[in-house]
Chain A
Amino acid sequence: MKINDLSLYSKYAFRDLLRSYSKILSIIITLLISLFILSAILTIEDSLENELNENSKVLLGGDLEIDYNNREGDKNLIKQVENISTVSQIVEFSTMISTIEKKQNKTSFTRIKAIDQNYPLYGDVIFEPVGSLKKLNEIDNTILVNENIFKNLNLKINDIVKVQNIKFKVIGVVKVLPDIGGAFVFGDFALTGKKTLDKLELNTLGSFLNYEYKIKFDDYKNKDKKINEIKKIFKNNDKVKIRYPENSAGGIKRIIDNFSQFLSLVSISAMLIAGIGIANTLLSFINQKNSSIAVQKAIGINSGNIKTIYYLQLLISLIFISLVAYGLSFFLVPVVDKYISDGLGLNIQASFSLTNLFIVFMVGLLVIIIFSIPTVNSIDQIKASSLFRNVFQSLQFKYSKLSISLSLLLLTILISLFAFRSSIPTYSLIYFASFFVCLAVFFYVSRFIILLLRNNLFNLGISSKIAIKNITQSKSITPITVMSLGLGMTLLLTLAFVGSNFKREIAKSIPEIAPDYFFLGIQNNQKNLFKKIIIDTDKEAVTEIVPMVSAGLVKINGIDPNTYISNSNDSYWVIMNDRRVSWVNTIPKDNPILEGSWWDTSKPNKLQISLDSKVAKDFGVNIGDKFTLRIYGREIEGEVVNFRLVNYQDLSINFAMLLNPQFAENIPHEYLSTIKFKNIKSFNEVNFLDKFPSVSIIKISDYLSKVTDVLNKVFIAVSIISAVTVIIGLVVISSAIIVQRKIKIFQNLVFKILGFSKKEIIMSSIIEFIISFLSIIFFSTIFAVLASKFIIENIFQLKWLFEINIFFYVTIGVGVATLALIIITNFRYLSPKVYPLVRNE
């Protein structure tokens, strides 16, 4: 085709579109909704990643971070660093904050940052009142607490709180910290001055103590040179980890990647469901243009050029829709920013990305072409000779080997575009495979219903007969209803089942298995007193107390595991930092041995290691392999002697690595304890902390309620987004009904002439819906049960149960919405005017 021709056909396409866009409104709406969701995901993901990248120095807290883990840094080395840059020392630790002046005193497990005058090197701390941050290092024993602690402990400015056995004055509230790359993302936190640190009794294990030195280069231009100098300074110190800005917030990035991968799959599901509607509406649109196309053919425009005009109309619509959808997504960013800012201290802003706009357009284009090929090809069926006969055959989808091959090729490109952009392509491919299996099943279900009802085995009332006739007629909307709603329902039910099972399992673990409290940082000399106090409080309390020491897994069979195990490995956390390890004489009840044998007591001087079987599998470790652990700076080699099945879900004490007590009990250690009280009210946290000021208490129910709260919000967000697939399905059904407008009006007119009541006609619509919907529920439930069971049992390794309430909420909700839509859409056609129809106008 020449440029001149293209320009001419574009003119026709544009003109036709301007004058008949209302007839393809459902295409525009479904495309707009699904492309908006996709745009929103891409824009938000992009904005978050931009924020994380642009603010990576802020998130890290410096141009570099020297992490000394739980030991204070070597002052000589730090001094050398200070000679070439500005250094801010930060010590993070976890401990308890308690009120002491209230009628009912309360405590809170808190992560505290002890900061110096240089903090923060990058970014801003948001706090109030003005000047309170500076006072931390000017006035001893002052503290800024976060808003949550301030509210939960019912604090006022200048109230006194106790941290361990030291009194602190609360001089302000801290709202946002710039360096959220560490453990400050979700928990409660507070800031205090560096000087205060020396007054507290911090134990390395229970306090999760961490010394960090943030570095800012005064002359950033010579950054690389200075980085090399710093590397040289710490060259011989393998206990130190140097972190760079690009490593900051890696965890958040992973969460964003996974979440956006899931949402992208939901959006493409919505697009594919929309595609079913596009094909149907477009066929109706071309059917309405039947005589105009015949005239164009009579004038001498060939079929190929007419098809070009229709493709151009779709292309013009898509360009417009893509721009609007992408533009609208920018309005969502401030909404997300509000929640993100509150939670993570990030400040995201929408930024234009040509790549994202192109992706949105390309996805839309692929979906449109895939679903419009058989529809636009139906133009070949229109003959100019029909104009002489005044008889126009209804068009059908036209498939050919070439068009099917092209559609499959484009579908493959579309799937690849999503799958290979995602962090875990296999999951995306499994998702797509499941989607198309469901689609095929729903299609054949609809054919089966039609076949079953066509045999007319039923002797029913007139409304039922009309309903059955509507379902079995050649232009029935049953296949479209079953496919589009079936897929949406399947997705929604699956997520609802996963969400409810997940929440139930977590909630269930509180009373049944989980202890009431974790106690961290019990010193050797406090162990007996601790036990006594617990027994004195509640004789029937179940106490578990185990030794604990910090150990870093530095070599596996003589090789640094960080050199070959990537951070995408499920068990990477075991080598990421030092882990807490313990020792025990007998096999833990809930940790059965899967391979190997328990401790060889004939070798008390040899370190033996019992390893979590999942970690062993992820790292490719075999029985007899050698692990080198670094404990208190000393490297000790041990042998892996057995693999245990560890169930972290029960929230009891569990360790990835257990050591043989014959070897380990001489290592200086602390104790970790869990307590399950018979009468939890008998335990007073504040009184306990008076006796054990350095011990940290984690109340499991508080912790779980926070987790459940976060999960609730996530599942609500996910369910709302997934409901988009149902909304798209409803638009598709609505458009399918509108496509049948003429048939419906004519049918209802005949019914009116024959004396049918509106009630009988409405009843027939309801019966028609019920027949389709029951089969949708049946098969959606089967798919949702299989998918959610797989996810809950195999991915989360939890117990799956059929949640009857969730089933009813979702099915009744979607059912009522669909029925209402069907009745409202059909209602317009209930009272046709007789005159224009009998005059064939």
Chain B
Amino acid sequence: MNKLLKLSNVSLNYTIDNNSINILKNISFEVDYKETISIVGESGSGKTSLIMLIGGLEKNSAGNIFFKDSEISNMTEDEISEIRRKNIGIVFQSFYLIPNYTALENVSLSLEINKLDNATKKAKEILDRFGLSNRFNNLPSQLSGGEQQRVAIARSVVMKPELILADEPTGNLDSENTENISSLLFNYIKDENASLIMVTHDNNLANLTKRKIIIKDGVISENQ
């Protein structure tokens, strides 16, 4: 198949008070290795739900999701956790650093969970690469918003995942930090040959990706 990711007729429904709500309907697309994709659309269109499905954080109601030939829709939570921790890095809009862990500990957490040697050394290298060499031992509360997002990106890429999922990575940042973070993220992806699926409202950011998927009312309206 030689595709990093393949979604085939994927749907997501929620049932609230006996009413079924269709969040995503018959979504199908493929992602190549080293490809960068932005997902855009109005609020409530289903963008975030889509990357939650891709990351295995939600179960699809119908269809199939293949990650490197393995169908993740039928996997148990533990099996998906195993794939996620080795192959997928996630960047959130609100950073979500663990508040009582230092920057270094937040980054080394993924490495340690995967039982990699020299976790601290590798975490320091990536933080150093992201310009945070003087912030190793600071807690998140002692960092600026831009610094926090750099730590969060460092945490998501430290395992050198093949796929990075980013949900509005610059949504909580000012324009200067937005520019810094986006160049940092895209330079990294280019250098490490990773793939990126990014949800964003920011057209400038979306234009940096190779492909743009527009979602409207839970269906793909454009796949450019």
Contacts and interface: CB of A to CB of B under 8 A. Distances in A.
Interface in B82-109: 82, 84-86, 90, 92-94, 96-101, 105, 109
A298 to B, nearest CB: 5
- The winner among B90, B96, B167 for most chain A CB atoms within 10 A is B96
A300 interface: yes
A15 B48 contact: no
Contacts of B84: 298-300
A385 B52 CA distance: 6
Interface stretch (B3-11, B60-68, B110-118): B110-118
A26 interface: no
Nearest to A295: B96
Contact of B58 (A11, A20, A385): A385
Contacts of B98: 292, 295-296
A299 B100 contact: no
Contacts of B109: 296, 299
A189 B212 CA distance: 102
B78 interface: yes
Interface stretch (A39-47, A138-146, A386-394, A609-617): A386-394
A294 B113 contact: no
Contact of B113 (A19, A292, A300, A303): A300
B47 to A, nearest CB: 10
A117 to B, nearest CB: 75
Contacts of B13: none
Given A291-B96, A302-B78, A383-B57, A389 B48 contact: yes
A388 B78 CA distance: 20
B81 interface: yes
Interface in A1-44: 4, 8, 11, 15-16, 19-20
Contacts of A304: 78
B81 A301 contact: yes
B105 A15 contact: yes
Contact of B57 (A15, A16, A298, A302): A298
Contact of A300 (B93, B110, B167): B110
B85 A299 contact: yes
Nearest to B79: A302
Given A385-B58, A390-B94, A303 B77 contact: yes
A387 B91 CA distance: 10
B77 A302 contact: yes
B219 interface: no
Interface in A266-300: 291-292, 294-300
B77 A385 contact: no
Interface size class of B (residues with CB under 8 A): 20 to 34
Contacts of A697: none
Interface in B43-59: 48, 51-52, 55, 57-58
A299 B110 contact: yes
Interface in A287-331: 291-292, 294-304
B164 to A, nearest CB: 13
A384 interface: yes
B94 A302 contact: no
Contacts of A295: 96-98
Contact of B112 (A8, A19, A302): A8
Nearest to A299: B110
Contacts of B155: 299
Contacts of A8: 112-113, 115
B100 A388 contact: no
Contact of A385 (B57, B99, B101, B114): B57
Interface string A638-673: 000000000000000000000000000000000000
B96 A294 contact: yes
A390 B172 CA distance: 12
Contact of B48 (A383, A384, A388): A388
A389 B48 CA distance: 8
Given A295-B98, A385-B58, A300 B51 contact: no
Contacts of B93: 388, 390
A398 to B, nearest CB: 16
Given A19-B100, A298-B90, A299-B113, A388 B167 contact: yes
A149 B101 CA distance: 70
A313 B77 CA distance: 24
B167 A16 contact: no
A20 B115 CA distance: 25
A301 B113 contact: yes
B81 A300 contact: yes
A254 to B, nearest CB: 53
A43 B137 CA distance: 44
Contact of A16 (B81, B100, B110): B100
A4 B115 CA distance: 8
Contacts of B101: 15
B81 A297 contact: yes
A667 B40 CA distance: 116
A389 B99 CA distance: 19
Contacts of B96: 291, 294-295, 298, 387
Contacts of B58: 385
A388 B85 contact: no
B81 A388 contact: no
Contact of A302 (B48, B52, B81, B97): B81
Contacts of B100: 16, 19-20, 292
Contact of B86 (A300, A385, A388): A300
- The winner among A20, A300, A390 for most chain B CB atoms within 10 A is A300
Nearest to A294: B96
A298 B110 CA distance: 10
B50 to A, nearest CB: 10
Nearest to B48: A388
A379 to B, nearest CB: 13
Contacts of A297: 81
A300 B82 contact: yes
Interface in A59-116: none
A783 B155 CA distance: 58
A8 B116 CA distance: 12
A297 B113 CA distance: 11
Contacts of A301: 81, 85, 113
B162 to A, nearest CB: 14
A309 to B, nearest CB: 11
B110 to A, nearest CB: 5
Contact of B92 (A296, A300, A388): A388
A8 to B, nearest CB: 6
Contacts of A388: 48, 51-52, 57, 92-93, 167
Contacts of A294: 96
A293 to B, nearest CB: 9
A390 B92 CA distance: 10
Given A298-B90, A300-B81, 5 more contacts: A15-B105, A20-B100, A299-B84, A299-B110, A302-B81
Interface of A: 4, 8, 11, 15-16, 19-20, 291-292, 294-304, 383-385, 387-390
16 contacts: A8-B113, A8-B115, A11-B112, A294-B96, A295-B97, A295-B98, A296-B109, A300-B84, A300-B85, A302-B78, A383-B57, A384-B57, A387-B96, A388-B51, A388-B57, A390-B93
Minimum-distance CB pairs A-B, first 8: A300-B85, A19-B100, A385-B57, A292-B98, A300-B84, A300-B81, A388-B48, A302-B81
